[in-house]
Structures are given as structure tokens and as C-alpha cells.
Chains A and B, each alone.
Chain A
Amino acid sequence: MTIKELHSKLKTKQISSSELTKEALEKIEKGNSKVAAFLSITPEVALEQAKHADALIASEKEVCWLTGIPFGLKDVIVTEGITTTAASKILEDFTPPYSATVYENLKSVKGVLVGKLNCDEFAMGASTENSAYVKTKNPWDLERVPGGSSGGSAAAVSAGLVPYALGTDTGGSIRQPSSFCSVVGLKPTYGRVSRYGLIPLGNSLDQAGPITNSVEDSAVVLNIIAGFDPKDSTSVKKDLPDYSKNLSKGIKELKFGIPKEYLAEGVDPKVKEVFLRASKKIEDLGGKIVETSLPRSEQAIPVYYIIMSSEVSTNLARYDGIRFGKSRDFFGPETKRRIMLGTYALSSGYYDAYYLKAAKVRQLIFEDFQNAFEKVDFIIGPTSPILPFKFGERVDNPLQMYLADLFTVPQNLAGVPAISVPGGFSEGLPVGLQITANHFEEEKLLQAAYAFEQATDFHKQKPEGF
């Protein structure tokens, strides 16, 4: 059910938040044994928060769409008093003494936290197979990965275990699993949502965002989590529109650019076919499809892997096993691989050739987007060049795994917002349509995504057995 539907039930007192929460906890208990989306379930916290929500609803005061609605958080978002592991053994016993701002925001409107969701260790991966605890399964095909790194969040929403969840996105970690699980995933502009309390992967790339069943739900969650935070000096002071207000504005006369580099080699023909059908739909709705170019697309993955790994190697230096967490021997293989790569790229004698060179090419990628947005309103493409794959297919082949991020990393490098919406299916497997807009144009981005969603019924199709 969407947030909107649940909200109207709560408001008209057809159901209380406590009842809704109990239902959600039962559903999680059943569904989680199939998909393994949750790392921990928090019934005591949830029932307590539901009580507060019910009191607020009973008081007849103004309530928000999210009041009393259960949600889950990716386990890299710290929660005071609730174990937060980043899906790593090194943080197995870590109980944060403070909460992330995004969680505080959801608490302040009396949202209900039902649990923490699985992901790749420290959000490093594209399949959630790098979790040190459990392999989350794709609800559409239990033999396939849910994508990653926010695979638990996407699988939980897709299987109907929670109405919405928060993920984080460093190189596609919200959008790619949303594509694999046929849900809506939004990565906001860098600086739009506070990063305070996100266990960092790459500080210059990370953003938190919603994973939902509909574009409207994405807008209402963004309304609550977006905004300047004095605790995050990279969050930006800028007016916040009501993102859910003008969703049905339509896309007539707006220009949608398909970068010619996006449909070149490396894209599964099945994905391409579904994407071309989706772009035809945009044309039917009055949007103009034009060719555009992001000439440095080939460099996006190399730039990303050098910069992200360098940030990883410095970020993860904090895990010394002294102040919190266990010793560094508890890092998993992918985490170690990236620490090694980053340490090498930053080491004396290599810094100019690797890190500095990558930061310069990053500038050119940023300019590619600015040049493209002078002529088009949006850039569109498939969210992922490949369909959801089977477990073990790519896990020990880092280059193959890294290429799964081909269409999603450029947005993080440039800091622009992007959304993945259900774009269709190929042989029963979901394909996401990704729409990218210029900095701080989330309102326009959501309007375009809404127009596409309302003209199709892919978002209404749900996996069987949940």
C-alpha cells in the first residue's frame, strides 16, 4: 500500500498506528524469512513510537503524511540506542550514542521505525552480497540479487514489508536496487539532504534518499528529510518547495535527452528494448526526445573508483578497534580491496597520477552535465545496463561488478539529482527508467517521473508470494 492510502486510513481512524505497526511486524516476520531484507527488527521501539503517533492523531492536531507510518532504515544510518552495523562484522556490537538527522526528521513527525535493513558492507557493492550477515533476495526472483548497496531497503519495499525505506546512494546504491526490485528510488542533489549520521563511504558523493512504491510517496518523504542541517556543513541553505504539490504538471514540450554514449556497447539488448519503449511513452505524453552527449561517460567509472576508494581509505581509518567497533581484521574482502586501492591512489608518488588526475576529469564530467542541461530539461537512460543477476555471478570479479554502476555514478560525481522509476519488464525481471535533472531541480524531476508513472502500470505490478 502507498503512504497516501495508509495516511488516509489513519486520518479517518479506520486503523490506528499501533494496529498498523503490529500488522507490519507480522508481515516482516513472515516475508523476511523469504527475502532476508532486515538485519534487525525493532518491535519495542516501533510500538512505542506508534503510541506517540496515535496520541498525536487523537489530539486532532495537524498530522503529516508520514505520521504513524512504519518505515525501515538502511543499516548505515545511525540510530541512537539501536545497533547499527553497516552490515559489517567490525560494527557487530556498535550502539550509536546519537541519531542521524534523517532519522530525527522522521521521528519528529512521529514516523515508526520497524527495523534496520541489509546492505553491502559499508555500502560497498551493487548486489548486497557483500553484507557480512545475510544475502538479501530479489522478491521478483529469489535466485537473483536485489541490487545494491541498498538491497535490503529496495527488497523490503518491493515485497510490501514496509511502505517506504531510506537508502543511501554513493554511485547508484538507491537507484540500481530500486530498478532491480521495481520500486521508486530517488537520489537527491548533493547537499539537499543532511549526511549527518550516515556512516560514510565517499563523503563527496553520498546522499540519503527515499525508496517507495510511488513517485508521490517519494515526494512526501523528501519533504520531511530535505533541508539545511547545521550539523552537516555540506548541506545547502536553499528554499524547500512542497514536492508533492504540483506533481501533475505534465511534461509537454519538455526536452528529454538520451546521451548517445548510453546506448552503446555494454547495455543488455533486453534492457535497451524496454528502455526504448519507455522513451516512446514519454513522447506519447508530449515530451520531446532528443539526442544529447556526455562525452566523458567512458571516464565516469574510472574517476569514481579512484575518488571513492581514496575517500574510503581515509574514512575507514577511524575503525581502530579502540574507541568503538572491533579490530580491522573484521573487514570483509571488498572493503579491504577498496581500502587497498584508495591507500595506493593516495600514496606518495602516485597521488598526482591517480587521485588528482581523477579529480580533474571529475570537473570535466561535471561540465558535461552543465553543457547538456543548456539544451535539455532531463537526461534519461536505463538505470542499470544489466538485468538483475544471479547470486555469485559477479562477486569476485571487481571490474564486472563495477560496470553495473555505469549509468548511475556520473550523477554522484556531478552532484545532480536522479530518480529510478519502474520502466517495464523483460522476461519477468524489472527494468528501471532513470531520469536525471540539474542541481536542486527535484520538483521538476518528480513531476516528470510522476507523468511517466501515471501513464504506465508497472508500479502497480507486485512480486508474487508476499
Chain B
Amino acid sequence: MAENITKDKVKSIAKLANLSLTENEIEKYSKQLSEVIDFNVSKLNKVDTDQVEPLLNASGLTNVYREDKVEPGLTSEDALKNVKEIHNGFIKVKAILDQ
């Protein structure tokens, strides 16, 4: 299965990933992603996995519970320390709705 990841496909993945790519990068990733996917998937497809359950966690742990007890956490001042723009203790972001 030869994967050809077109430049248009690269643009739509970049949009999903919230990355703005240059024309140069789009060209390069189109070629490199096609190569990498093709190499990887052709090897995976050699293995029959019809009866196999996926492994999502190698430690075998399932649900982990703790007591519902309040512990000290970050103060809001500390939590906001790396924020670029703050307004009255809130994080300021660009408007996402029309006024």
C-alpha cells in the first residue's frame, strides 16, 4: 500500500494540528510523511492482528483511585505566572466570537 500524502492533505493535517507551515515545509513534509508512513505501514501489515487486543498501557494497571481529600495545590498567582496577558486574574485571549 503506497501512501501518497498530497500537499493538500498536508495542509489539512497542519490545520488540524494548529501548525502554520511554509510552502517549503509543505513540500518537504509531503515527501517525508509519505515515506515514513509507507515504510511503517507496510511492515505492520505483514502481521495478522485479527484476534489481538490493543496494548494501551504496559504496566497492566487499570483504575487507580485515591481518597477524596483536598490537598494544597498551586495558588492562582503561581498558576498564572507564565501567562502572557492577565486581566483581573483571568487569562486574556483573542476574541473568538463576533461582537
Chain A residues within CB distance 8 Å of chain B: 93-95, 97-98, 190-191, 204, 230, 233-234, 236, 296, 298-299, 301-303, 305-306, 313, 317, 320-325, 328-329, 331, 333, 336-337, 339-341, 343-344, 347, 353-354, 356-364, 366, 398-399, 402, 413-415
Q: Knowing A357-B49, A361-B49 touch, does A234 contact B61 (C-beta < 8 A)? A: yes
For the complex, is B20 an interface residue (Cβ under 8 Å from A)?
yes
B33 close to A325 (CB less than 8 A): no
B58 close to A415 (CB less than 8 A): yes
Q: How far is the CB of B38 from chain A (nearest CB, A)?
A: 10
Contact partner, B66, options A97, A191, A230, Cβ 8 Å: A230
B65 to A, closest residue via Cβ: A233
Q: How far is the CB of B85 from chain A (nearest CB, A)?
A: 8
Question: What B residues does A331 contact at CB under 8 A?
Answer: 19
For the complex, is B98 an interface residue (Cβ under 8 Å from A)?
no
Kindly identify, within residues 7 to 45 of chain B, every residue whose CB is under 8 Å from any CB belonging to chain A: 9-10, 13-14, 16-21, 25, 29, 32-33, 35-37, 39-41, 43-45
Q: In the docked arrangement, what's the CA distance between A321 and B81, Å?
A: 13
Q: How far is the CB of B47 from chain A (nearest CB, A)?
A: 5
- List 12 A-B residue pairs with CB atoms under 8 Å apart, sorted by A's residue number: A233-B61, A298-B46, A299-B46, A302-B43, A323-B82, A324-B82, A329-B20, A340-B13, A343-B16, A344-B5, A361-B52, A363-B53
Q: How far is the CB of B88 from chain A (nearest CB, A)?
A: 16
A366 close to B82 (CB less than 8 A): no
Q: Knowing A204-B57, A298-B43, A340-B14 touch, does A363 contact B25 (C-beta < 8 A)? A: no
Q: How far is the CB of B55 from chain A (nearest CB, A)?
A: 4
Q: How far is the CB of A190 from chain B (nearest CB, A)?
A: 5
Q: In the docked arrangement, what's the CA distance between A93 and B81, Å?
A: 11
Question: What B residues does A305 contact at CB under 8 A?
Answer: 36, 40
A360 close to B40 (CB less than 8 A): no
Q: Knowing A336-B21, A415-B58 touch, does A302 contact B52 (C-beta < 8 A)? A: no
Q: In the docked arrangement, what's the CA distance between A399 and B53, Å?
A: 28
Q: In the docked arrangement, what's the CA distance between A359 and B66, Å?
A: 28
Question: What A residues does B97 contact at CB under 8 A?
Answer: none
Q: In the docked arrangement, what's the CA distance between A212 and B45, Å?
A: 40
B82 close to A362 (CB less than 8 A): no
A412 to B, closest residue via Cβ: B58
A366 close to B13 (CB less than 8 A): no
A302 close to B32 (CB less than 8 A): no
Question: What B residues does A360 contact at CB under 8 A?
Answer: 49, 52-55
Q: In the docked arrangement, what's the CA distance between A359 and B53, Å?
A: 8
Contacts A303-B44, A344-B9 given; 20 further ones with Cβ under 8 A?
A: A97-B78, A97-B81, A98-B74, A204-B58, A299-B44, A299-B47, A301-B43, A322-B83, A322-B84, A336-B29, A339-B19, A340-B14, A343-B16, A344-B5, A344-B33, A354-B37, A359-B56, A360-B53, A362-B55, A363-B54
Q: How far is the CB of B80 from chain A (nearest CB, A)?
A: 8
Chain B residues within CB distance 8 Å of chain A: 5, 9-10, 13-14, 16-21, 25, 29, 32-33, 35-37, 39-41, 43-47, 49, 52-59, 61, 64, 66, 74, 78-79, 81-84, 91, 93
Q: How far is the CB of B73 from chain A (nearest CB, A)?
A: 9
A97 close to B13 (CB less than 8 A): no
Q: Knowing A306-B40, A324-B82 touch, does A191 contact B53 (C-beta < 8 A)? A: no
B16 to A, closest residue via Cβ: A343
Q: In the docked arrangement, what's the CA distance between A382 and B14, Å?
A: 38
B94 to A, closest residue via Cβ: A322
A302 close to B44 (CB less than 8 A): yes
Q: In the docked arrangement, what's the CA distance between A299 and B44, Å?
A: 6
Question: What B residues does A323 contact at CB under 8 A?
Answer: 82-83, 91
A343 close to B74 (CB less than 8 A): no
Q: Knowing A325-B82, A336-B25 touch, does A190 contact B74 (C-beta < 8 A)? A: no
Contact partner, A328, options B18, B29, B59, B83, Cβ 8 Å: B18
Q: In the docked arrangement, what's the CA distance between A329 and B25, Å?
A: 12
A344 close to B37 (CB less than 8 A): yes
B52 close to A364 (CB less than 8 A): yes
A399 close to B37 (CB less than 8 A): no
Q: Knowing A234-B59, A324-B83 touch, does A340 contact B19 (C-beta < 8 A)? A: yes
Contact partner, B13, options A343, A356, A361, Cβ 8 Å: A343
B67 to A, closest residue via Cβ: A230
Question: What A residues does B55 contact at CB under 8 A?
Answer: 359-360, 362-363, 366
B41 close to A302 (CB less than 8 A): yes
Q: In the docked arrangement, what's the CA distance between A399 and B42, Å?
A: 14
